[in-house]
Amino acid sequence: MIFDTHCHLNFEVFNNQEESVISRARKAGINYFLIPGSDLPTSQKALNLAKKNQNVFASAGIHPHHAQDQVDIKKLESLIKMLKVCAVGEIGLDYHQYPKTKHENYQINSQFKEDQKILFIKQIKLAQKYQKSIIFHNREAKEDLLTILKIYWNEGLKNRTVLHCCEPDEELLAFAKKNHIFIGVDGDVTCWNKKARFIKKVPLEMLVLETDSPYLTPEPIKKEKSFPNEPKNLILVARFIANLKNVPLETLVSQTTVNAQKIFNL
């Protein structure tokens, strides 16, 4: 019973193939899925997929990439309220300068960083208002992320949040430990030594598995077919981490699934 806590089955690349992707995953032992939203249409689609499929759950949120878009916060709020939406996400900060994005003139400048922070804080408050869990996205923005979390953190978020695709960073891990935040790990652990060394140190009680499909295809299949990754490949990540941490696969799977159920209050 493996839980893929972060798979974008709502992205275009999976259009009209969602059910077959889910059924292939089930055959490989992946039985639970959390589909995160990154803007309004993908949040709505995540919700639709969650309504149609058993053990598929949704989150609604605006990814920091979209911080300069016109966001209809009322509409977002109406999605967050829905029963099948168990979390707000993915939300956070991303200061990485991507070579190519859907947005023309994508520039990480001070205005964009400011917009990201404002949107992030608004969404933390919505999660608190509706007692939803939170999926944090952070890339190269640790300082600002921690500053905001320290201000807006409350006890209600304890055990209810995850730092998805967590950067290998001691300070993030220490903050997560202190505040009962879970650490999400993906396929990049199979091909990045620094990440593997980091994950080895994360207590099993804090860890959840994710594919970040369609991205981050794990080894050994990355070389042959890197895109799109799908949830069925999560078994490769699970095996790699069990081996890395020297625990039976069964133990890793059951603990990470229990952790995920705790985060999303399932």
Asked if residue 82 lies in contact with residue 122, where contact means CB atoms within 8 angstroms, the answer is no
**Residues 72-131 within binding reach of Zn ion (CB under 5 A):** 90
Stretch that binds Zn ion, among 111-119, 132-140, 141-149, 193-201 (CB under 5 A): 132-140
CB of 164 to Zn ion, least distance (A): 5
Angle at 166 between CA 163 and CA 169, to 5 degrees: 120
Tokens 């042959």, residue?
A: 224
CB of 90 to Zn ion, least distance (A): 5
When the beta carbons of 167 and 219 are compared against Zn ion, the nearer one is 167
**Residues 205-264 within binding reach of Zn ion (CB under 5 A):** none
When the beta carbons of 4 and 256 are compared against Zn ion, the nearer one is 4
CB of 250 to Zn ion, least distance (A): 28
CA distance 262 to 162: 11
When the beta carbons of 139 and 245 are compared against Zn ion, the nearer one is 139
Nearest by Cα to 152 from 110, 111, 120: 120
User: Does the footprint of Zn ion cover residue 160 (CB under 5 A)?
Assistant: no
CB of 167 to Zn ion, least distance (A): 11
CA distance 13 to 264: 26
Nearest by Cα to 66 from 123, 20, 10: 123
In the three-class reduction of DSSP (H, G, I as helix; E, B as strand; rest coil), residue 161 is classed as strand
Asked if residue 224 lies in contact with residue 19, where contact means CB atoms within 8 angstroms, the answer is no
CB of 91 to Zn ion, least distance (A): 10
CA distance 65 to 67: 6
Tell me the residue ranges of DSSP E strands in the chain: 2-4, 30-35, 56-60, 85-94, 133-139, 161-164, 182-185, 207-209
Stretch that binds Zn ion, among 71-79, 115-123, 133-141, 256-264 (CB under 5 A): 133-141
When the beta carbons of 35 and 126 are compared against Zn ion, the nearer one is 35
Tell me the residue nearest to Zn ion as measured from the CB. Answer: 137
Q: How many residues bind Zn ion (CB under 5 A)?
A: 2
When the beta carbons of 89 and 241 are compared against Zn ion, the nearer one is 89
CB of 215 to Zn ion, least distance (A): 8
CB of 249 to Zn ion, least distance (A): 25
User: Does the footprint of Zn ion cover residue 137 (CB under 5 A)?
Assistant: yes
CA distance 233 to 247: 20
Using CB under 5 A as the criterion, which residues of the chain lie in contact with Zn ion when the complex forms?
A: 90, 137
